[in-house]
Chains A and B, each alone.
Chain A
Amino acid sequence: MADMTGERMTTGRPLTYREAVAEGIAREMRRDPTVVCLGEDIGAAGGVFKTTAGLHKEFGPERVWDTPISEQAIVGAAMGAAMTGMRPVAEIMFSDFLACCWDYLANEIPKVRYMTGGQVTVPLVVRTANGGGLGFGAQHSQATENWAFTVPGLKIAAPATPADAIGMMAAAIRSDDPVVFFEHKGLLATKGPPAPPGHLVELGRAAVVREGGDITLVALASMVPVALTAAERLATEGISAEVIDLRCLVPLDTRAVLASVAKTSRLVTVEENPYQGGWGGTLVSVVVDEGFGLLDAPVCRVAGECVPLPFADALEERVIPTVDKVVARVRDLAAY
């Protein structure tokens, strides 16, 4: 069970991404009594990914509710509670299962403020374990943030580090707008520096996680470490890559990307989701629309193949972007 006390923060012990998720929720629950959690197995069991470990013990069953396997009821009830004074944090176990409650994410939650002429706000967070790389097969491995990206009215957060998981969870829970919070399965066991007390990462602020002058790599969630490793390899070849962790898809920090491209004049997006319909397409179109003159080369996208996620490691690797694929693409572009 995660250590939910504050001591860890002061001792500065690195924490895992999964501990950070639970810690991020716990900090907000301590601060705000209207924050409540619901989801399958999130109570005493601590969640199938242990991302709610310790919450039930600290806050009890009146704040942390186990639900039946009822994705529509989970998200629909969270919506009703959010409309009437609570700040629910709903867990959908695997992001693939968002399809089971897609009506709420596509039709209900993001539209109600608009179609009621601003009468109703829906301050909720839907958290979910996203992405591949762990051999879970086609129905438990997709990177689905693009599904949400096509829906006006949803904010989308996808942290890449433990500290960001805490700071962005705080911002998501405090947001008066609905936020879909993608926790990447491939990052759950990764460790990072702790977050200071009160850590808050404003939604819609990308981070330059590596400075460079020759090319801009833009990545999200699990693709951030891939881009960083690629950047290190490229540095040995004399190519200096700047790496941007987008952190959010909505709001999308196009300013940070344009500023970086102004410096590097080259752009590659690194996406786990399929190329077709991926967020990189939108980002690239903004850069081409508004920053064409900044570019010295074509823009490129490294993205997942447009196939269901296969099971075997060798096959999964073929589908999802890898360091090798990013390095190869950047090399081509640098020579342009």
Chain B
Amino acid sequence: MRKKFPYTEKKDTRSGFGAGLLEAGKNNPEVVALCADLVGSLKMDAFIKEFPERFFQIGIAEANMIGIAAGLSISGKVPFTGTFANFSTGRVYDQIRQSVAYSDKNVKICASHAGLTLGEDGATHQILEDIGLMKMLPGMTVINTCDYNQTKAATIAIAEHHGPVYLRFGRPVIPVFTDPDQKFEIGKAWMVDEGTDVTIVATGHMVWKAIEAGEQLEALGISAEIINIHTIKPLDEEAILTSIKKTGCVVTCEEHNKFGGLGESVARLLSTELPSPQEFVAVNDSFGESGTPDQLMTKYGLDTVNIVEAAQKVIARKK
């Protein structure tokens, strides 16, 4: 019998970030926040109200924001930067590389509006390459959370973790289905549901789609094991290998380009440790475009139906 994940409300993941930031600020007086003219989008208002002296409005100047965050961290501050994922990563890759990652600085780069589901703003504001960019940086921890509660817990957890972190979350309002009192453990996968025929490894908003796909697969007589990989780097290799040893195949699901994302991390692991059939539910090397989030998820092949089809396909490829 599959686990049920009833939910009573939908919330945006970024509000989880705002709530977590406030909590982290209360837990640790060294926590400071920086924003590049998107306070409302990042839900930083509560933190600013509580700790006005610990907030820095940088203006539309993301490169300066990353440098200032690195400088703040030198004297023991724990800076959280906030802007859209595109401007958090691609726009300032060199600043993050030199002043944060290579310099071993304790900066938390927090990025909203990741992926396609930013929607109508279109491709200039969406980003589907950020996981790849960040995971290639030595020493960078990469986290992509699945709902409000998990985003809140992750925000609190990364404040206590020493080292650079990229925390990625989306814009849409989605079901809140994880435990409100969860302890977020960086690098430790969450087993969503057990199964025997196929492993579904999902991250971010795709975890909920994977749960829906699991129910549809059950109706087709297929038992899916679903793992929520909220931490893409470091990857919980043990959890993934243990599951695929049992099921013999895997579908990876992410709101990201199939090049450079979670799917590639899993493929790299399997190629040396456990060669296995894999299917990718991800954007097929494309930019996004304007549309509603649901329309875009359908057009770019990130719907529940795509996961179900990928599962059937990968099971057929098992020897």
Q: Do they bind each other? A: no
